[in-house]
Structure formats: structure tokens, C-alpha cells
Amino acid sequence: MLNNLKTVALMALLTALLMLIGGAIGGQGGALVALVLAAVMNLGSYWFSDKIVIRMYKGQEVTSGPLYEVVRELVQRNNLIMPKVYILPQDTPNAFATGRNPKHAVVAATEGILHLLSREELMGVMAHELSHVRHRDILIGSIAATIAGAISYLAQMGQWALIFGGGDDEEGGGNLIATIVTLIFAPMAAMLVQMAVSRSREFVADRGGAELCGNPQYLASALAKLEQANHQRPMRQVNDATAHMFIVNPLRGAGLQNLFSTHPPVAERIRRLQAMS
């Protein structure tokens, strides 16, 4: 419940940032135009996300085998809709879910995850992904990306307007400085909020996954193994735009880069799962 409230608050903050930068540049009309443009661009990604991402990582659909059987058991046990199941030809263990709704959902795991995890740990991971599907996190992420994208477009429009228009002398220096500050920092703030939305949904999916599989320790143990394996052997050819979809971050960063991470610290995720026990 707390993380759901946090998501709502973060989405409200994104909307406020959009209104702020829209008002600084072109009023409500400018904000609306940017929002529509961002929505059109993100709609295609949202509608065809399953096909785009699976093709990007050369996934192969399976209808039998250990991964499929684990997903089917979880679906039957919890009365869910059976998603399509894919295996990715990657040695590094990881997994993700995508699809615009439960009827068009996809869960995928790399070949490496099948060699690393026990059946119980694999069940914890796939329960986490099914929880993402159940809570429509792909939709939430798409909305957050749309608003953040609109803020970015508005900022770019405003920067070009200042460069070629030179500003309005009647506004006064104070208003001009405030506009410049808004154009610089609003997109950065929007990106941070978008990342925070993603991190918040990971906590929700962890809790939901623990409930679906019936034992928080399954996922806690799996996360520890996955984090270590991804540090030792990072995934090859990862698209930055899809990194947030994976259960553990396939991109490695340190220092300030962690501020922009789409994933919460694995140690904190494990602590919360262990507390559920």
C-alpha cells in the first residue's frame, strides 16, 4: 500500500513538473502539445512492446520445459491468465515481463537463469514477473515515460526559443533567469522521478511475487544469486531503454550513476522480502 501511494505521489509530481515547465514556456497550450507528442511516440512502444523487445533479444517461445512448467504452475495456482513464455539466448541470468495487459503478456528469462537457480528460486523470479503483469506496471511505466518525455520536449523547445528569440525584454531579468533554471532542471527532475516510479514498482512486484509463489525466501535467494552473476558477467548488448524491465539491473554503474538507476538496491529488496517471512 505504501509503495502504491508513493507511485501516485510521484506521478502527481511529474504532472506538476509538466505544468511548471509548460507555464514557463508556452502556457497550458504548450504543455498540452508536448504531452500529445510524447503520448503518440510512447503509444507505439506500449502497444507493441512485447514484439519489439522479444525480437531485440532474439527470444524463442517455449511451450514446454522447466521455465514453462514453473510459469504454468504459478498461473494455475493463482488463477491468472497464461502469458507467452520466451527464452533469451543469453548466458547472464536475468528475466523480464512485458505486454500491454494480462491478455497480451510475455514473460521471458535467459538461458543462464535456468542453469543458475533452483526450481524454487526460478518460481520466485517468475512470480515477480507475473506480479508486474498483474499490476499493469508496463502501463504505469509508459505513462511516466510519456509525461517525462513531454517535459523533455518542452525544455528543448524553450531552449531553442531562448537561443533564437533572445527572450522578452519586458519580462525582466528575474523572469528570464527563472525560465532558464526551469528549462535546465525540470527535465533532470522528471527523469529522477521517472526512475523513482520504476524503483517503487519493483518493490511492489517483489511483494506480489512473494505472495504468488507462497515463500518470500525463494525470491530473496534468487535476487542474491542474480545480482552477483550480473556483476561478474554483465549482459551483452543491452538496450538502455529496456534495462528497467529486467528483474535486476543489467547495466553496471557506480557513484552518481546509481542515482539514475531504475532498480532499488538488491540488498534492500532482500531485506524487505526476509522481513515478510
Residues 248/223, Cβ–Cβ less than 8 Å: yes
Q: What is the DSSP string of the chain?
A: -HHHHHHHHHHHHHHHHHHHHHHHHTHHHHHHHHHHHHHHHHHHHHHTHHHHHHHHTT-EE-SSSHHHHHHHHHHHHHTPPPPEEEEE--SS--EEEE-SSGGG-EEEEEHHHHHHS-HHHHHHHHHHHHHHHHTTHHHHHHHHHHHHHHHHHHHHHHHHHHHHH---GGG-HHHHHHHHHHHHHHHHHHHHHHHHHHHHHHHHHHHHHHHHHS-HHHHHHHHHHHHHHHHHSPPSS--GGGGGGBSS-SS---GGGGGG-SS--HHHHHHHHHHH-
Q: Is 61 annotated as a binding residue?
A: no
CA distances from 254 to 138, 192, 251, 258, 271 (A): 27, 16, 10, 6, 21
Q: Is 211 annotated as a binding residue?
A: no
Annotated catalytic residue, options 129, 170, 211, 227: 129
Would you call 129 a catalytic residue per the annotation? Answer: yes
Q: Is 202 annotated as a binding residue?
A: yes
Residues 261/240, Cβ–Cβ less than 8 Å: no
Query: Which amino acids are annotated as binding site for Zn(2+), given as ranges?
Result: 128, 132, 202
**Binding-site sequence positions:** 128, 132, 202
The residues that are catalytic are 129
